[in-house]
Structure 1
């Protein structure tokens, strides 16, 4: 039994998943979700995280934040195990993603770099459980983008041999895993499609003077109209034409890029600007499917954006004939997917299994990802 911890680019809190795996092969004989807990961040921690990901935190602040996150992650583990009535001694290891505060993919002129914080020693000390963390850095060191890593879970746990799937995560950033039918001759692929809900959430906060943290159910966007000139500015970004493997983050599609855009189009209604950003995500998601190499039979969505009906409506409108459904329709809790993926990565580390993610990240050869902190 393993615990996976995830805190994503949406900065909304910690997801903790308790996963039971059967078998010791690379592909588990069975994986089942034994518990799931979400712990929202408080206002103070949220503010510190926003400062850090914006690049405005000094070394002391980053150090303090890393330890504070370690305490928060450990607290989430205890809450998860208490709810599931599981003793810590029954858990083999914790896989902790940490919180990304900087991510730069390799661009040909310089190597990639990535930084996740959330002190694993604190988690191990507070829980008494071995912790595997820092998964992304080994992939980057091996020439990969370090992202996305969740597709390994999709391939080993969610793939269906008779069904071509596009598993679409709509977190702060959006990424897709393409899993073709086994007999199709196509190969799996995964990559970031671009912004998910990060720009939408940030715009909702700014345009409502902080009254809203996000566009609830996409209601504001649904009441607006797309501003073509404003949309075109985003679509001109060269990222959308890059061939996979590719990854991105708030460094490119975050508050720093959004603020001047909002200023340039300050004469437009807030509803119209949110409609434009929602259309941006829908369009870049659907357009990116040209890189999949196959036509999916269905799209399974997860992440915060999966709870935005207006965003899903726009994605479905651009994918006629291909049903867009929640991941729950395939029998898995969509909110738990990413945390469960890091439970799987912890399992692979403990069993000494090299994770082959070159098809998703571009890493040269399979690597054992993560660093172990013994309890």
Structure 2
């Protein structure tokens, strides 16, 4: 049976959809195709709006999920054309969906993590089995439901001779510590990644992100604002922990700005970039002091200024893009969900108790067959 899987990811940063076609038939995962597309502006706006309470949410969320899945389906077809493969060559598609709320363990003790998706429609459009709903089982087992990528990081980037850390900087940042001497895998959300920087950049420049961090490089770090942002209690929490736009959003930033007085917009961007660099660097220092290599993936790896600030904060550690280790930054998460789909199809667990804090490892996801069996 085929060991080819497609992974689909549209992350918290809302910068687009990535599709990866991965071959798991060898001793090491291998990406053989990648396709990406920006989200249509109206869909991106709607998905962002659905991160907060609003009118007629259920109706709008259902239609947004349908629209997102149509973008997913286009990317599945794109990567198949690129690799000159038919749908029958693919064992399954792993479709994460778009996170709009992430509140594990809250309200009733269980909480929830909600990803907009319509895997049944995706299975109809693609004629391939679809695996989706990866987070809810871990949340049901008392876990955070995030991060889910550390086991894949271990499979792809782990080494037997040294401690390696993997830092994913999407909308939210998360860290994986790969210590060959450790009994348990360790990983958690650090805090904001690109979400605040992107939102501020869009508001003040009209651009969806700070390309290469060039705007941030022109400003100055505002010490009082940075200190106020770093006072956020989430940063002092002990893992397992996860977060999202439910916490790190524009109202959160504006509440801090209200206490500091008027600031130049470029200085705020510089300070937000420093915030991400500091919370990520502190996470590395606190959990993997012997780490010699920090592999950075996600859109943040393309932000030159942010990478320079990370390197300055971690002078004894090599800070490098995941591209230098065999997997470009924008392919890592999509490949991880291809891997998680394979774990589910083959009946293997995808979560790790030491990462999410659940009562145990669980098989993650539900399958939507392409057709009746």
Confirm or deny a common fold (TM above 0.5).
yes
TM-score bucket (shorter structure): over 0.9
Q: Does the aligned pair in 2 maintain the 1:169–1:302 contact within 8 Å? A: yes
Partner of 1:11: 14
1:325 aligns with 2:320: yes
User: Shift of the alpha carbon at 1:291?
Assistant: 3.9
Residue correspondence of structure 1 range 1-375 to structure 2 within 5 A: 1-22=4-25, 29-56=27-54, 58-106=57-105, 110-180=109-179, 182=180, 184-185=181-182, 187-208=184-205, 211-265=206-260, 267-375=262-370
Q: How far apart, CA to CA, are the structure 1 residues paired with 2:200 and 2:299?
A: 16
Q: Distance in 2 between matches of 1:10 and 1:263?
A: 25
TM-score by length of 2: 0.94
Deviations 1:39-60 (Å, cap 9, x if unpaired)? 1111111111111113325111
Distance 1:63-1:185 versus aligned 2 partners, 3 A rule: closer
Superposed displacement of residue 274, structure 1: 0.8
SS in 2 for 1:267: coil
Task: Give the 3 Å change call, closer, same or farther, for CA 109–120 of structure 1 in structure 2.
Answer: closer
Partner of 1:22, secondary structure, is: coil
> In 2, are the aligned partners of 1:16 and 1:37 still within 8 Å (CA)?
yes
String of CA shifts for 1:88-119, please: whole Å, max 9, x gaps: 10000001100001101325973231111120
Q: Which 10-residue stretch deviates more, 259-268 or 343-352?
A: 259-268
State the distance in 2 between where 1:189 and 1:110 align: 23
1:69 CA displacement:
1.3
- Deviations along 1:114-156, whole A, 9 cap, x unmatched? 1111200111001100000000001100111000001111112
In 1, the alpha carbon distance for the partners of 2:24 and 2:207 equals 39
**Residue 354 of structure 2 aligns to a residue in which SS?**
helix
Given that 1:234 and 1:280 are in contact with CA atoms closer than 8 Å, whether structure 2 keeps it comes out as: yes
- Runs (5+) with no aligned partner, structure 2: none
| Partner in structure 2 of residue 26 of structure 1 | none
**1:344-372, CA deviations, whole angstroms, 9 ceiling, x for partnerless residues?**
11111111112341121111112110011
Moved more, 49-58 or 98-107: 49-58
Cα distance in structure 1, aligned partners of 2:267 and 2:252:
18
Secondary structure of 1:162's counterpart equals coil
Q: CA RMSD in A?
A: 1.6
Rounded Cα–Cα distance in structure 1 between residues aligned with 2:61 and 2:106: 26
Contact 1:179/1:187 (<8 A) preserved: no
Q: Secondary structure at the match of 2:291?
A: coil
Shift of 1:30: 2.4
TM-score by length of 1: 0.94
Q: Provide the secondary structure at the position in 2 that maps to 1:67.
A: helix
Listed one character per residue, the Cα deviations across residues 228-257 of structure 1 (whole Å, up to 9, x for unaligned) are: 111111111110011111000011111231
